[in-house]
Structure 1
Amino acid sequence: MNPGLVLASTSPFRRELLQRLALPFDTCSPQVDETPKPGEGPNAMVARLAEAKARAGARQKPDHLIIGSDQCAELDGQILGKPGDHQRALEQLTAASGRTVVFHTGLCLLNAVTGEAQVDVVPFKVRFRALSPEQIDHYLRKEQPYQCAGSIKSEGLGIALFEAMEGDDPTALVGLPLIRLCTLLERAGFRVV
């Protein structure tokens, strides 16, 4: 029998993704400071935060397998986090117009009983169309993706801003790489199918 599974996230998008696996799971709110450390690159940051979220979840659910995930966008080596407001989102998407942005999604599966953590980072590249200021403004007013890495809600209208996508796991773009998660769950002895 599988141990209990917990998604350490308040994201409705991650919850919807995990529901695709048709596995019973709970959620919890991991209170984690998401501020990047000085000099920390995108892969190191999302790996650290994914594990920190899983460990925070383990304090609430100490006898479960805990899933932690974190995502950031990167443009020219600069981390694009959650914009928080319209102006910052406008700046992010203007900079991304006609260019390639890499979304880095950190994933951690933590066995709260043993403390063993499996941590991985799944990249996903997106090439943006050349966007007019009007297109960007229309998108932002319609979607309001102010709590989404890089100002993109790809599961909604954000897909219309893309020219091409490249990656091994399309669910990584939304914030929870299910293909990689299935591998981590199986390694932990958790039966997925």
Structure 2
Amino acid sequence: MHEPVPHLILASTSRYRRELLQRLRMPFDVVSPATDETPLAGERPAQLSERLAMAKARAVACLHPSSIVIGSDQVAECDGESIGKPHVHERAVAQLRQMSGRTVAFHTAVAVVHLDAGFARCVRVPVEVRFRALADADIQAYLRLEQPYDCAGSAKCETLGISLLDAIRSDDPTALIGLPLIATSALLRDAGADPLRWAGADRGC
């Protein structure tokens, strides 16, 4: 008999994370974690990203203890302050003005939890992004074309947002998009779900 493929769940409603995880070619389901993302008093952006990644994974794992659950969160940091999703045009303009000509840290954390196996681990992958000096006309043109209002920092580096940047520094090229696949793959291997082993497989016995 073939060993059953581990049941994998992505604890996220983000289409960007879903598309990234699909690159590993492992079957998975998507479940909303319904997690309160309000920062705690005095919580640093890096700490916030790690806490929320683990909270999302645990929230879904509690409902599916036999499944391997992936949770992830990203928090941008400029001048020591967290920069979240703008949601509206005016906030996106303000964010890009603030980041113009600056180096911004994007903290992307990924957690993998398998409650039945007693496995719970989180890794944070930092990314340094240097924005070029942006004129207001550049900002307005970009936002009008791409409308990245669901992205922390108001820019999609995987598409036209790359034109706003001078440099990206990271050990994982997918971390800035929202799910660091190198770290995710390592955590999945440790949890017993090696992507190379299970890629393309069907769930079940």
User: Which band: TM-score by shorter chain?
Assistant: over 0.9
User: What CA distance in whole angstroms lies between the structure 1 residues aligned with 2:115 and 2:106?
Assistant: 28
What do you get for the CA RMSD once the two structures are aligned?
A: 1.1
* Separation of aligned partners in 2, 1:79 and 1:191: 34
Q: Which amino acid aligns with 1:145?
A: P
- Indicate yes or no: 2:187 matched with 1:192: no
Residue of 92, 95, 103 corresponding to 1:92: 95
- Structure 1 residue runs of 5 or longer lacking an equivalent are none
Shift of 1:109: 0.3
- The CA deviation at 1:115 is 4.2
**Structure 2 Cα separation of the partners of residues 90 and 49 of structure 1:** 26
Deviations 1:12-63 (A, max 9, x none): 1100100111111111111011111110001110111001110111133221
| C-alpha contact (below 8 Å) 1:28/1:60 kept by paired residues | no
The equivalent residue for 1:36 is: 39
How many residues matched? 193
The answer to whether residue 106 in structure 2 is matched with residue 103 in structure 1 is yes
Please tell me whether the aligned partners of residues 119 and 191 of structure 2 are also in contact (alpha carbons under 8 angstroms): no
TM-score for both structures, normalised by structure 1: 0.96
Shift of 1:159: 1.0
Q: Which shows bigger deviation, 159-168 or 53-62?
A: 53-62
Task: State the 4+ residue runs in structure 1 displaced beyond 3 angstroms.
Answer: none
**Identity of paired residues, percent?**
55
Confirm or deny that 1:126 pairs with 2:129.
yes
Unaligned ranges ≥5, structure 2: 197-205
Q: Counterpart amino acid of 2:147?
A: Q
SS at match of 2:172: coil
Whether the aligned pair in 1 keeps the contact of 2:76 and 2:82 (CA below 8 Å) is yes
1:155-174 matches, cutoff 5 A: 155-174=158-177
CA distance in 1, matches of 2:38, 2:77: 15
Name the residue aligned to 1:177: 180
